[in-house]
């Protein structure tokens, strides 16, 4: 088999777009039907169908993490959840709606209906913006691709819905940023042509949503790859902005709220991209499952100083905010965005391994983790992960079988490949202490399985 290194940055970037961005392909009705609905859900669905205007279709809000065209929330705060359905009327290019249903003695009935002109519901979430203990509906309405989006908050009070807001924005994050009982809104207005960007903080006061602070952001960027509100430290939320710059590089800005003011903790305006620069985009996420969001950075695999950028194998280094202006590395792993998997080496490997990566023009790849001794000659294979296109898989297995290799089958990856790990064979060219250390850090089949994961899990 001929393996050739090729650049797959474009694919990698595409593969990194969160799944939700692609979920519009499946119709909401189809998703609602699978898996089988409980009798209760079926009742809701029927009531919604009955109440939808003629020609209307259920629609998914487009923000990441959104779970469906019909959501549940206790909007009136009486302890019982209401059903909230999002719809659009396709034959009429500019009509969107939200239907709120309440369960009464005679089944699910319309409690309230919101309609707005527009093409898509860009954002929807339930957050207690007003601080009365009941979730409010936060909706970003989008007219068309070229238009700004408009953010509004719908709050149940005095037996009806009160609308507040109506701010134009490009990117939004909604959640609790300062520890009081109210959720805040952070809206970003980015003017690509004017090379300017600004974040605004909105809080609900007695009269409605008020802009309580503004912060200038770096405007010389390609755009926002991801805007994520999440835990930045224990007991402290922040807004992570993963930003694309230049041909394919990226950096991350973290915004927090300090005494009611927006803070750019890494001082991006003073030092654009300084601390969090990466050669390719990496999405901020809770990579190690501790509930705190990590910022990903890319390290060239050791020994690849002469390797061109397009062929560079990268080690992902994940950092948490240190609470001041700095970062603290907490985790390290390998991510394959094309075939949709990650492999998390054990701590005992850190600083002692490197990678060789080979990508086949006909599809498939091979990444080898190598133990590093004191000199470049003292390298020894720890494990090799293969992505084998399905059509070559059986043949490949036979070959490995004939060669007597130990194969750990890891199952299907993205893009029609099977993933397998191969353990090294024969004695490595190491001796003494290094040979001992190498054997001590080798993984068992079981450990390999545990350290391998699909990215969409």
Positions touching Ca ion (CB under 5 A) are 74, 76, 78, 80, 176, 178, 180, 182, 286, 288, 290, 292, 294
Query: Least distance from C-beta 452 to Ca ion, angstroms?
Result: 19
Residue 13: phi and psi, rounded to 5, are -65, -45
Q: Given the complex with Ca ion, which of 125 and 434 has the nearer CB atom?
A: 125
List the beta bridge partners of residue 70.
85
Question: CA torsion sign, 157 to 43 to 92 to 120?
Answer: positive
Nearest to 330 by CA among 349, 313, 347, 354: 347
Q: What is the layout of strands, in order, in the sheet containing 249-258?
A: 223-233, 236-245, 249-258, 261-264
Taking the C-alpha atoms of residue 372 and residue 273, their distance in angstroms, rounded to an integer, is 31
Q: Given the complex with Ca ion, which of 5 and 316 has the nearer CB atom?
A: 316
Q: Given the complex with Ca ion, which of 27 and 288 has the nearer CB atom?
A: 288
Q: Could you give the C-alpha distances from 438 to 303, 431, 432, 433, 442, in angstroms and in order? A: 18, 10, 10, 9, 6
Please name the helix (run of DSSP H) or strand (run of DSSP E) that holds residue 263, with its range, or none: strand 261-264
Q: Given the complex with Ca ion, which of 130 and 182 has the nearer CB atom?
A: 182
Q: HSE on the CB side for 225, CA within 13 Å?
A: 23
Query: Least distance from C-beta 73 to Ca ion, angstroms?
Result: 8
Nearest to 136 by CA among 98, 188, 108, 179: 98
Q: Given the complex with Ca ion, which of 142 and 182 has the nearer CB atom?
A: 182
Q: How far is CA 374 from the centre of its chain?
A: 38
Peptide bond into 35 cis (omega under 30): yes
Taking the C-alpha atoms of residue 321 and residue 298, their distance in angstroms, rounded to an integer, is 16
Q: Given the complex with Ca ion, which of 346 and 411 has the nearer CB atom?
A: 346
Please name the helix (run of DSSP H) or strand (run of DSSP E) that holds residue 450, with its range, or none: helix 445-451
Query: Least distance from C-beta 71 to Ca ion, angstroms?
Result: 13
Q: Given the complex with Ca ion, which of 194 and 289 has the nearer CB atom?
A: 289
Under a CB-based contact definition with an 8 Å cutoff, are residues 95 and 88 in contact?
yes
Query: Least distance from C-beta 451 to Ca ion, angstroms?
Result: 17
Taking the C-alpha atoms of residue 204 and residue 131, their distance in angstroms, rounded to an integer, is 8
Q: Given the complex with Ca ion, which of 290 and 391 has the nearer CB atom?
A: 290
DSSP single-letter state for residue 289:
S
DSSP single-letter state for residue 9:
H
Residue 163, Cβ neighbours under 10 Å: how many? Answer: 15
Q: Given the complex with Ca ion, which of 55 and 326 has the nearer CB atom?
A: 326
């Amino acid at each position: 088999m001929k393996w050739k290194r090729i650049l797959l940055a474009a694919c990698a970037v595409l593969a990194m777009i969160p799944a939700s961005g692609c979920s519009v392909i499946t119709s909401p009705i189809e998703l609602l039907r699978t898996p089988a609905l409980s009798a209760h859900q079926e009742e809701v669905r029927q009531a919604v169908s009955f109440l939808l205007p003629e020609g209307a279709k259920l629609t998914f809000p487009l923000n990441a993490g959104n779970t469906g065209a019909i959501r549940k929330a206790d909007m009136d705060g009486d302890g019982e959840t209401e059903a909230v359905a999002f719809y659009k009327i396709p034959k009429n290019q500019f009509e969107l709606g939200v239907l709120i249903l309440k369960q009464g003695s005679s089944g699910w009935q319309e409690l309230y209906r919101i309609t707005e002109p527009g093409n898509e519901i860009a954002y929807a979430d339930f957050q207690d913006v007003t601080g009365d203990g009941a979730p409010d509906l936060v909706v970003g309405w989008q007219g068309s691709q070229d238009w700004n989006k408009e953010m509004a908050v719908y709050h149940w009070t005095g037996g009806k819905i009160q609308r507040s807001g109506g701010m134009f924005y490009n990117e939004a994050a909604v959640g609790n940023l300062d520890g009081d009982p109210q959720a805040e809104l952070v809206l970003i207005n980015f003017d690509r042509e004017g090379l300017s960007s600004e974040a605004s903080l909105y809080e609900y006061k007695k009269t409605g949503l008020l802009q309580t602070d503004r912060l200038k952001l770096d405007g010389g960027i390609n755009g926002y790859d991801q805007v994520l509100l999440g835990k930045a430290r224990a007991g402290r939320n922040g807004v992570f902005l993963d930003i694309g710059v230049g041909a394919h590089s990226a950096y991350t800005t973290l915004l927090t709220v300090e005494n009611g003011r927006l803070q750019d903790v890494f001082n991006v305006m003073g030092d654009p991209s300084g601390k969090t620069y990466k050669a390719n985009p990496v999405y901020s996420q809770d990579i190690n499952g501790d509930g705190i969001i990590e910022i990903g950075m890319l390290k060239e695999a050791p020994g690849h100083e002469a390797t061109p950028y397009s062929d560079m194998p990268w080690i992902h280094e994940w950092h948490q905010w240190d609470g001041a202006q700095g970062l603290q590395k907490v985790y390290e792993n390998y991510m394959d965005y094309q075939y949709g998997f990650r492999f998390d080496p054990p701590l005992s490997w850190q600083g002692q391994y490197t990678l060789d990566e080979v990508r086949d023009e006909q599809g498939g790849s091979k990444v080898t983790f190598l133990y590093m001794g004191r000199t470049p000659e003292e390298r020894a294979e720890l494990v090799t992960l293969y992505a084998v296109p399905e059509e070559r898989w059986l043949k490949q297995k036979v070959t490995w079988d004939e060669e007597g290799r130990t194969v750990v089958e890891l199952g299907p990856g993205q893009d029609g490949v099977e993933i397998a790990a191969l353990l090294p064979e024969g004695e490595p060219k190491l001796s003494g202490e290094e040979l001992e250390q190498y054997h001590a850090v080798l993984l068992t089949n079981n450990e390999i399985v545990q350290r391998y994961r699909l990215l969409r899990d």
